Chains A and B, each alone.
Chain A
Amino acid sequence: MRRTLPIFGVLAVLLVAIAVANPYFLELPGFLAFVKRAAPLAILAAGQYFVIVSGEFDLSVGSLVTAEVVIAARLIDGDPGATWPVIALLLVLGALIGLVNGAVTTLLRVPSFITTLGMMLILAGAVFLWTGGAPRGALTEEFRTFGRGGLGPVPWSVLILLAVVTAVVLLMRADFGRTLVATGDNPGAAALSGVRVPRAKTIAFVLSGLSAAVCAILLGGFAGVSAQVGQGLEFQAITAVVLGGVVLGGGRGSVVAAIAGAFTLEALFTLLNLYGISGALESAVQGVILIAAIALGSLTLPAWAARARTTNATTHTTPDPTHAKG
Chain B
Amino acid sequence: MSLTPRRALAGAVLATLLPLSACSSDLPEGPAASGGAASQGPGDGKKKTGDQSKFFVQADYEAQLAMRTKQATGPADKPWEQAIDPQPVDTTAYKKTGKYHLCFSNAATNNPWRQVGWKTMQSEVALHKEIAEFTVLDAEGKDDKQISDIAELSAKGCDALIVSPNTTATLTPAVKGACPKVPVIVFDRGVQTDCPVTFIKPIGGYAFGADAAEFLIDEVKPGGKILALRILPGVDVLETRWSAAKVAFDKSRLDVVGVEFTDGDAAKTKAVVSDYIQRFGKIDGVWMDAGATSVAAVEAFEDAGVAVPPINGEDQQDFLQKWKDADLTAVAPTYPTYQWRTPVIAALKILKGESVPKVWNLPQPKVTRDSLGDYLKPGMPPLHYALCGCEAMPGYPQKWGGK
Contact = CB atoms under 8 A, between A and B. Distances in A.
A274 B274 contact: no
A289 B5 CA distance: 15
Given A275-B23, A289-B13, A270 B266 contact: no
Nearest to B112: A134
B378 to A, nearest CB: 12
B12 A302 contact: no
Interface string A258-302: 000000100011111111111110000100110011011101011
A13 B17 contact: yes
A268 to B, nearest CB: 8
B5 A133 contact: no
B110 A17 contact: no
Interface in B248-279: 258, 260-272, 274-275, 278-279
Q: What is the interface of chain B mostly: helix, strand, loop, or mixed?
A: helix
Interface string B100-130: 0000000011111011000000000000000
A22 B275 CA distance: 9
B381 A138 contact: yes
B275 A6 contact: no
Nearest to A231: B265
Contacts of A156: none
A3 interface: yes
Interface string B34-73: 0000000000000000000000000000000000000000
A223 B270 contact: yes
A17 B21 contact: yes
A132 interface: yes
A2 B299 CA distance: 42
Interface residues of B, number: 58
Contact of B266 (A14, A229, A296, A309): A229
Contacts of B111: 133-134
A226 interface: yes
Interface string A228-265: 11010000000000010100000000000000000010
A228 B20 contact: no
Contacts of A292: 12-13, 15-16
Contacts of A289: 12-13, 16
Interface string B1-37: 1111111111111111100110110010010000000
Nearest to B260: A279
B376 interface: no
Contacts of B258: 276
A148 interface: yes
Contacts of B15: 292
A10 B115 contact: no
A138 B382 contact: yes
A169 interface: no
A134 B115 contact: yes
A308 interface: yes
A208 to B, nearest CB: 20
A5 B271 contact: no
A21 interface: yes
A132 B109 contact: yes
B263 to A, nearest CB: 7
B8 A270 contact: no
B203 interface: no
A183 to B, nearest CB: 22
Contacts of A33: 274, 278, 304
Given A229-B265, A229-B266, A305-B4, A30 B278 contact: yes
A288 B16 contact: yes
A166 interface: no
Contact of B2 (A37, A138, A272, A312): A312
Interface string B363-385: 00000000000000000011100
Contacts of B296: 223-224
Contacts of A312: 1-2
A272 B24 CA distance: 10
B9 A6 contact: yes
Contacts of B12: 289, 292-293, 295-297
Contacts of A225: 266, 382-383
A24 interface: yes
A264 B21 CA distance: 16
Contacts of B5: 3, 245, 296-297, 301, 305, 309
Nearest to B269: A223
B9 A245 contact: yes
B6 A3 contact: yes
A176 to B, nearest CB: 25
A14 to B, nearest CB: 7
Interface of B: 1-17, 20-21, 23-24, 27, 30, 108-112, 114-115, 258, 260-272, 274-275, 278-279, 295-296, 299, 303-304, 318, 381-383, 401
The 7 tightest CB contacts between A and B, nearest first, are A133-B110, A296-B8, A223-B266, A292-B12, A223-B267, A134-B112, A308-B1
Given A3-B2, A223-B299, A226-B267, 10 more contacts: A6-B7, A22-B279, A37-B271, A37-B274, A134-B112, A134-B383, A226-B265, A229-B266, A274-B278, A293-B9
7 contacts: A3-B2, A21-B24, A132-B109, A133-B109, A136-B383, A225-B383, A302-B4
